């Protein structure tokens, strides 16, 4: 599928890094580096604007390497980009490490997965059908 996009950054469009990657890496578009102190959160611009077809969303997810090596993750993971959103794609990062971390222009800070989604309606009911699980959850089947 093709997605209409405006790229106001100085970086190439996001791309799949390997043939079968699910996510395209997103790069920070910054005039100067942004430093996150421990537990600080900041919104990082990408310079990208896009027009997803109806029935699609984009999910903004952390990169595992950045999370493991530096404690940097996407606070609202997975971030949701709605098909009717026309603003700049931004990434909300938080620093879970005990040292400060600087995001520089062009850094690959997160990944974006394009997904289909349903638009559901409601059918109100007085009762729900029985199942074996019933209301069991939160580990009720054991470890």
Ligand X SMILES: O=c1ccn([C@H]2C[C@H](O)[C@@H](COP(=O)(O)OP(=O)(O)OP(=O)(O)O)O2)c(=O)[nH]1
Please identify, using beta-carbon distances, which residue of 49 and 97 lies nearer to ligand X: 49
Label residue 14 exposed, middle or buried (CB < 10 Å: 0-12, 13-18, 19+): buried
Nearer to ligand X, 22 or 99 (CB): 22
Which stretch, 5-13, 19-27, 78-86, 127-135, contacts ligand X (CB under 6 A)? Answer: 78-86
| Residue pair 44/108 in contact by the 8 Å Cβ criterion | no
Residue showing the smallest CB distance to ligand X in the complex: 79
- Residue 57 Cβ, how far from ligand X at the closest point, in Å? 8
The Cβ of residue 126 has, within 10 Å, a number of other Cβ atoms equal to 4
**By CB under 6 A, residue 79 contacts ligand X:** yes
Report the SS3 class of residue 116.
strand
Residue 82 contacts ligand X per CB under 6 A: yes
| Token code pair at residue 123 | 């059918």
**Closest CB to ligand X among residues 17, 82:** 82
78 prior amide bond cis, ω within 30: yes
Residues forming the site for ligand X (CB under 6 A):
60, 76, 79-82, 85, 89-92
Summarize the annotated binding site for substrate as residue ranges.
63-65, 76, 80-82
């Amino acid at each position: 599928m093709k997605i209409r996009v405006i790229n106001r950054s100085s970086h190439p469009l996001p791309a799949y890094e390997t043939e079968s990657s699910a996510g395209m890496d997103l790069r920070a578009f910054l005039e100067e580096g942004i430093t996150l102190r421990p537990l600080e959160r900041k919104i990082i611009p990408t310079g990208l604007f896009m027009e997803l077809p109806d029935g699609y969303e984009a999910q903004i997810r952390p990169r595992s390497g950045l999370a493991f090596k530096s404690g940097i993750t996407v606070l609202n993971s997975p971030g949701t980009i709605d098909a009717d959103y026309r603003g700049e794609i931004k990434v909300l990062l938080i620093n879970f490490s005990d040292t400060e971390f600087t995001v520089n222009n062009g850094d690959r800070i997160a990944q974006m997965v394009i997904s289909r989604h349903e638009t559901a309606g409601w059918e109100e009911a007085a009762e729900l059908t029985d199942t074996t699980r019933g209301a069991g959850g939160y580990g009720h089947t054991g470890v």
